[in-house]
Amino acid sequence: MVEILKIEGLNKSFGDLTVLDGIDLSVNKGETIVVIGASGSGKSTMLRCVNFMEIPSGGRITLNGSAIGTASNGSVTYSEKELTGLRARVGMVFQHFNLFPHMTVKQNVMEGPKTVLKCSAVECSRRADKYLEKVGLGWKADSFPSQLSGGQQQRVAIARALAMEPEIMLFDEATSALDPELVGEVLLTMKELADEGMTMLIVTHELGFAYTVADRVLFLANGKILEQGDPESVLINPQQDATKNFLRGHGSFRLPEPNLD
């Protein structure tokens, strides 16, 4: 087993507010981890610390065996150069996809490989074709984002992240801004990635999806991982009252059809 991501003692405070309070997590290659928790429990902050959009207040993050930052005298410092390199290795998909409106779909997907990775024009084009095909949007390569549905735009955003060929993909409520009828196509794309062995850390309120796709579900509360385990134990048989209350607040979620063969 290859450990892709290791989070040790992660802390994050904003002024007096402690948002993450000692998070430990190890993610192996090919694992799909779903993070759930109440609004404000720190889910986004945790993902943002993993790709250093937020600088951790304490703790250590190790990607594929290399610890990020330089530790001395009990604190860790980060150089901008190192963080730029690190961010290229971690793909992130947000609620709001923020495609460049003046670029075609293909140009959007080529932009990262071109400007960050300095890939050749041929390689940028090859990657864009490959990953647009993967999300089922090769046929929209020459369209502009405004000509696509929200679900299609989000799938382009996923292709854009994949084109960097990241070691892990982070998804922060990638379907929350979509009309309900467009959610399914994006979740299906994410499920296909999981099935193909992509390593993924996903924040979502789609508990049916979490149940079907996650190898492990984490419940975050008060800056800590309060409960974790396979989907059955966390989503169906939670042990902690806070988890039970959270799940009650989400009502029932649709379980996958039973397998009858």
Ligand X SMILES: Nc1ncnc2c1ncn2[C@@H]1O[C@H](COP(=O)(O)OP(=O)(O)OP(=O)(O)O)[C@@H](O)[C@H]1O
- Residue from 41, 44, 51, 204 binding Mg ion (CB under 5 A): 44
32 binds, among Mg ion, ligand X, none (CB under 5 to 8 A by kind): none
Q: 19 vs 193, which CB is nearer to ligand X?
A: 19
Q: How far is the CB of 96 from Mg ion (least distance, A)?
A: 12
**Listed ranges 42-50, 137-145, 163-171, 225-233: which one lies at the site for ligand X (CB under 6 A):** 42-50
Q: How far is the CB of 42 from ligand X (least distance, A)?
A: 4
- Residue from 4, 19, 92, 210 binding ligand X (CB under 6 A): 19
Q: Rounded distance, CA 231 to CA 36, Å?
A: 11
Q: How far is the CB of 99 from ligand X (least distance, A)?
A: 21
- Residue from 23, 27, 41, 110 binding ligand X (CB under 6 A): 41
Q: 44 vs 153, which CB is nearer to Mg ion?
A: 44
User: Does the footprint of ligand X cover residue 96 (CB under 6 A)?
Assistant: no
145 binds, among ligand X, Mg ion, none (CB under 5 to 8 A by kind): none
Q: How far is the CB of 186 from ligand X (least distance, A)?
A: 17
User: Does the footprint of ligand X cover residue 56 (CB under 6 A)?
Assistant: no
Q: 246 near 37, Cβ under 8 Å?
A: yes
HEC string of the chain?
A: CCEEEEEEEEEEEECCEEEEEEEEEEEECCCEEEEEECCCCCHHHHHHHHCCCCCCCEEEEEECCEECCEEECCEEECCHHHHHHHHHHEEEECCCCCCCCCCCHHHHHHHHHHHCCCCCHHHHHHHHHHHHHHCCCHHHCCCCHHHCCHHHHHHHHHHHHHCCCCCEEEEECCCCCCCHHHHHHHHHHHHHHHHCCCCEEEECCCHHHHHHHCCEEEEEECCEEEEEECHHHHHHCCCCHHHHHHHHHCCCCCCCCCCCC
User: Does the footprint of ligand X cover residue 39 (CB under 6 A)?
Assistant: yes
- Residue from 4, 31, 32, 44 binding ligand X (CB under 6 A): 44
User: Does the footprint of ligand X cover residue 14 (CB under 6 A)?
Assistant: yes
What does the binding site for Mg ion look like in residue numbers (CB under 5 A)? 44
What does the binding site for ligand X look like in residue numbers (CB under 6 A)? 14, 17, 19, 37, 39-45
